């Protein structure tokens, strides 16, 4: 073997005399090293495929080099990067309705068409990098260059990505460069027999909460390894970008643990910052965008690091988007309160609390909220009633009616105000019941305490897409609403509109009104009061129409609005807007009004406005008619 200029030992094996490869395709390969502590066998750090053989625990490195006629050849170009991202967060293994580990091929054939139909333009796939422990959700990576063999072969993954591109869907990889599995036999830990080959030594090299190893970003070989890894997935598999996991943990020596960031700049530019890690993030973003200008990078950072989404050439870290993580936490906090204690200003502040010109991906919930030990929004809202009262041929309950209504409103207001991108974890679009629990056995802690497992059951490690598709269940209405929401954004592009104005955050009426683009959003969160002749401000004159109504019977609503009604603006300042129009705002309902550009009709006197008859007989509980609070001082942004 020869030692190259990077200090890495390498060897080149020419083909056999008959032209066959020196190492046959599918062969097991390993590295045997003489270390100060003795002989050590390891899977090569740069292995491209690894497999767990039946009956064995450690993974085996596999030399993957199929004959040319068996290699997958990409047929479709990468889609053009959309102006606004609507991301479907997914996990291949748990994407089947059946209690099993699903495959790349099944995901390609069954899930990708669903994503396209629902109106999402990007899929973010978790757990691609090989990980020995399935229940880690893919975050304890053992082989960084190898796609997970549980789901199929590398060529199967390429076929999946190519199909997504054919459908016009971007494919983003949930990449893990913030830490690594502490496995020794089939991971990078103790690779050369020492504690610090790829990682920091001592306590700094161990994450106390994640039970994993932490990279030394000041090492040139670590930088070369991780930068090569980021380039590998883009070039070999044609991923369109990344969601970088655990960025907050990377950027700070304290990893963000037990730290409440207040926005004080000393929290970002002090001794707690891991400068080497921040430099690595700048390098990887610069490399990605230099090689693939259309590639997308999203950073999972909760700290609010300044310059996070400013290009590297302008002195920033270089991400395209930041995950707006505070939103999901705020919704869980709010859902623990009574309806009477919800604060409109608090909701709006959390949704809009981001740095100027910094693009964010908003989400009401992700995979984190779906894991065992937590609850999805649907389960917070409807709890055990979901088990018995979701069939349309049976009476509903007040808890179900409330839950379905608020589930739709929460998702729409998050998409409407939360950022320039939107993310949904698969199945949550229809209020997937229960939680995610990966198959696992009992775990004995060092102190002797035993954490019970689930008998290695896959029952809670799947996605019941059949529930969302069933026209006899109430899940269908929530799925239809989410689909309509995506298509309204596709048509009007409101998430990336330069025009955003919040005209009302009324704590008495429980109403939020805002403009985004040529759309006016009206949310009535009141649990009982519906408002006739409710005046809402607008910027542009003309005729408005309803383009999305959460109370539509198609979406599990009560049909209290007439979608054929027209709404004409009239002049006069209201809520700091130069014009306004009158609407009916049913309780627990969100309505989106679009400006009809053709044939605008404007009147100048409120008394001349003919209020359209928008009320249909309600098929729900009686609605209390209330007058709007004209004396309240609506806040503006």
Q: What is the pLDDT of residues 115-137, one digit of tens each?
A: 999 999 999 999 999 999 999 99
The predicted pLDDT at position 617 comes to: 36
Contacts of 236 (CB under 8 A, 6+ apart): none
Distance CA 89, CA 367 (A): 8
The predicted pLDDT at position 577 comes to: 98
Domain that holds residue 539: 499-626
Is residue 16 a part of any domain in this protein?
A: no
Domain check: are 479 and 527 in the same one?
no
Domain check: are 507 and 442 in the same one?
no
Domain check: are 283 and 332 in the same one?
yes
Q: How confident is the model at residue 619 (pLDDT cuts 50, 70, 90)?
A: very low
Check whether 86 has a pLDDT greater than 90. yes
Of 494, 515, 535, which residue sits at a domain end? 494
Is residue 47 a part of any domain in this protein?
A: no
Q: How does pLDDT run across 237-253, given as a tens digit for each residue?
A: 999 999 999 999 999 99
Check whether 637 has a pLDDT greater than 80. no
Check whether 402 has a pLDDT greater than 70. yes
Percentage of the chain beyond pLDDT 70 is 94
pLDDT higher at 175 or 451: 175
Check whether 608 has a pLDDT greater than 50. no
Check whether 629 has a pLDDT greater than 80. no
Using only C-alpha atoms, the chain has a radius of gyration, in whole angstroms, of 27
Q: How far is CA 24 from the centre of its chain?
A: 40
Q: Are 238 and 294 in contact (CB under 8 A)?
A: no
Of 478, 494, 510, which residue sits at a domain end? 494
The predicted pLDDT at position 138 comes to: 95
Q: Give the CATH number for residue 579.
A: 2.60.40.1180
Active-site annotation, residues: 245, 300
Domain check: are 324 and 337 in the same one?
yes
Q: How many CB atoms lie within 10 A of CB 232?
A: 15
Q: How does pLDDT run across 17-67, given as a tens digit for each residue?
A: 998 899 999 999 999 998 888 899 999 999 999 999 888 889 999 999 999
Of 494, 518, 543, which residue sits at a domain end? 494
Report which of 11, 58, 39, 1 is spatially closest to residue 192, judged by C-alpha positions: 39
The predicted pLDDT at position 88 comes to: 99
Half-sphere exposure of 483 (CA within 13 A, CB side): 17
Domain check: are 520 and 456 in the same one?
no
Domain check: are 484 and 506 in the same one?
no
**Can you name the residues that pair with 536 across neighbouring β-strands?**
581
Is residue 172 a part of any domain in this protein?
A: yes
Q: How many CB atoms lie within 10 A of CB 620?
A: 16
The predicted pLDDT at position 37 comes to: 81
Check whether 627 has a pLDDT greater than 80. no
The predicted pLDDT at position 398 comes to: 97
Domain check: are 487 and 514 in the same one?
no
Q: Are 226 and 66 in contact (CB under 8 A)?
A: no
Distances (CA, A) of 290 to 5, 465, 559: 25, 39, 51
What proportions of the chain, in percent to the nearest 5, are helix, strand and coil? 30, 25, 50
Number of domains in the chain: 2
The predicted pLDDT at position 443 comes to: 82
Average pLDDT over residues 568-578: 97
pTM as predicted: 0.92
Q: How does pLDDT run across 195-242, given as a tens digit for each residue?
A: 999 999 999 999 999 999 999 999 999 999 999 999 999 999 999 999
- Phi then psi for 210, rounded to 5 degrees? -85, -15
Is residue 10 a part of any domain in this protein?
A: no
Q: Give the CATH number for residue 301.
A: 3.20.20.80
Domain check: are 354 and 450 in the same one?
yes
**Vertex 58 angle, CA 57 and 62, to 5°:** 125
Distance CA 579, CA 4 (A): 71
Report which of 325, 228, 324 is spatially closest to residue 283, judged by C-alpha positions: 228
Three-state secondary structure string covering 162-205: HHHHHCCCEEEEEECCCCECCCCCCCCCCCCCCCCCCECCHHHH
Report which of 403, 412, 459 is spatially closest to residue 431, judged by C-alpha positions: 403
Domain check: are 479 and 504 in the same one?
no
Distance CA 189, CA 191 (A): 5
Q: How does pLDDT run across 474-531, given as a tens digit for each residue?
A: 999 999 999 999 999 999 999 999 999 999 999 999 999 999 999 999 999 999 999 9
Domain check: are 559 and 490 in the same one?
no
Is residue 280 a part of any domain in this protein?
A: yes
Check whether 632 has a pLDDT greater than 50. no
Residue 79, token pair as written in the block:
């889609």
Collapsing DSSP states into helix, strand and coil, what is residue 220? Answer: helix
Is residue 188 a part of any domain in this protein?
A: yes
The predicted pLDDT at position 600 comes to: 38
Is residue 3 a part of any domain in this protein?
A: no
At 39, which helix (H) or strand (E)? Answer: strand 38-42
Check whether 419 has a pLDDT greater than 60. yes
Half-sphere exposure of 486 (CA within 13 A, CB side): 22
Residue 144, token pair as written in the block:
């960084």
Check whether 412 has a pLDDT greater than 80. yes
93-102, 364-373, 423-432, 567-576 — which is least confidently predicted?
A: 364-373
Domain check: are 430 and 504 in the same one?
no
Distance CA 507, CA 345 (A): 7
Domain check: are 517 and 458 in the same one?
no
**Vertex 213 angle, CA 208 and 218, to 5°:** 115
Is residue 435 a part of any domain in this protein?
A: yes
**Can you name the residues that pair with 492 across neighbouring β-strands?**
none
How much is the mean pLDDT over the chain?
92
Average pLDDT over residues 301-318: 97
């Amino acid at each position: 073997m020869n030692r190259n200029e990077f200090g890495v030992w390498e060897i080149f094996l020419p083909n056999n005399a008959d032209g066959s490869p020196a190492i046959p395709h599918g062969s097991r390969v390993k590295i045997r090293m003489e270390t100060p502590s003795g002989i050590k066998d390891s899977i090569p750090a740069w292995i491209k495929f690894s497999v767990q053989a039946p009956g064995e625990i450690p993974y085996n490195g596999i030399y993957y080099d199929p004959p040319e006629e068996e290699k997958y050849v990409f047929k479709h170009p990468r889609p053009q990067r959309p102006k606004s991202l609507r991301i479907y967060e997914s996990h291949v293994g748990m994407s089947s309705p059946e209690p099993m580990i699903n495959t790349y091929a099944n995901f390609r054939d069954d899930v990708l068409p669903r994503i396209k139909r629902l109106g999402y333009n990007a899929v973010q796939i978790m757990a691609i990098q090989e990980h020995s422990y399935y229940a880690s959700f893919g975050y304890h990576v053992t082989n960084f260059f190898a796609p997970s063999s549980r789901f199929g072969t590398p060529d199967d993954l390429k076929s999946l990505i190519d199909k997504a591109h054919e459908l016009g869907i971007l494919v983003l990889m949930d990449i893990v460069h913030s830490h690594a599995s502490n496995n020794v036999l089939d991971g990078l830990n103790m690779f050369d027999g020492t504690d610090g080959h790829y990682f920091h030594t001592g306590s700094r090299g161990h994450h106390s909460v994640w039970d994993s190893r932490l990279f030394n970003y000041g090492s040139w070989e670590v930088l070369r390894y991780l930068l090569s890894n980021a380039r590998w997935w883009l070039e070999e598999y044609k991923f369109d970008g990344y969601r970088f996991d655990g960025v907050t943990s990377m950027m700070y020596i304290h990893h963000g643990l037990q730290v409440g960031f207040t926005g004080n700049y000393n929290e970002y530019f002090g001794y707690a910052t891991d400068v080497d890690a921040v430099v690595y993030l700048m390098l990887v973003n610069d490399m990605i965008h230099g090689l693939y200008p259309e590639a997308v990078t999203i950073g999972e950072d909760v700290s609010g690091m300044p310059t996070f989404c400013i290009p590297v050439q302008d002195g920033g870290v270089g991400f395209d988007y930041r995950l707006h993580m505070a939103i999901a936490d705020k919704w869980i906090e709010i859902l623990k309160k009574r309806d009477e204690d919800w604060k409109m200003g608090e909701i709006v502040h959390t949704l809009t609390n981001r740095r100027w010109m910094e693009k964010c991906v908003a989400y009401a919930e992700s995979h984190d909220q779906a894991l065992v030990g937590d609850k999805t929004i649907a389960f917070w809202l409807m709890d055990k009633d979901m088990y018995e009262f979701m069939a349309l041929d049976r009476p509903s309950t007040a808890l179900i009616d409330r839950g379905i209504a608020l589930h739709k409103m929460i998702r729409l207001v998050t998409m409407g105000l939360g950022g320039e991108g939107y993310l949904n974890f698969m199945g949550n679009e229809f209020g997937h019941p229960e939680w995610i629990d990966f198959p696992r056995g009992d775990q004995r802690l060092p102190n002797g305490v035993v954490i019970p497992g689930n008998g290695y059951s896959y029952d809670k490690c799947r996605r019941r897409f059949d529930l969302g598709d069933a026209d006899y269940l109430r899940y269908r209405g929530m799925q239809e609403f989410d689909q309509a929401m995506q298509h309204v954004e596709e048509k009007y592009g409101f998430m990336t509109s330069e025009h955003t104005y919040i005209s009302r955050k009324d704590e008495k009426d429980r109403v939020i009104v805002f403009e985004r683009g040529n759309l006016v959003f009206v949310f009535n969160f009141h649990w009982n009061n519906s408002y006739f002749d409710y005046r809402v401000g607008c910027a542009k004159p003309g005729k408005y129409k309803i383009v999305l109504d959460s109370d539509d019977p198609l979406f599990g609503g009560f049909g209290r609005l007439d979608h054929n009604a027209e709404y004409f603006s009239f002049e006069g300042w209201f809520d700091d807007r130069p014009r306004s129009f009158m609407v009916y705002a049913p309780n627990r309902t969100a309505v989106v009004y679009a400006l009809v550009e053709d044939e605008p009709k404007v009147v100048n006197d409120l008394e001349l406005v003919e209020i359209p008859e928008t009320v249909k007989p309600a098929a729900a509980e009686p609605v209390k008619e209330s007058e709007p609070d004209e004396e309240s001082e609506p806040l503006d942004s």
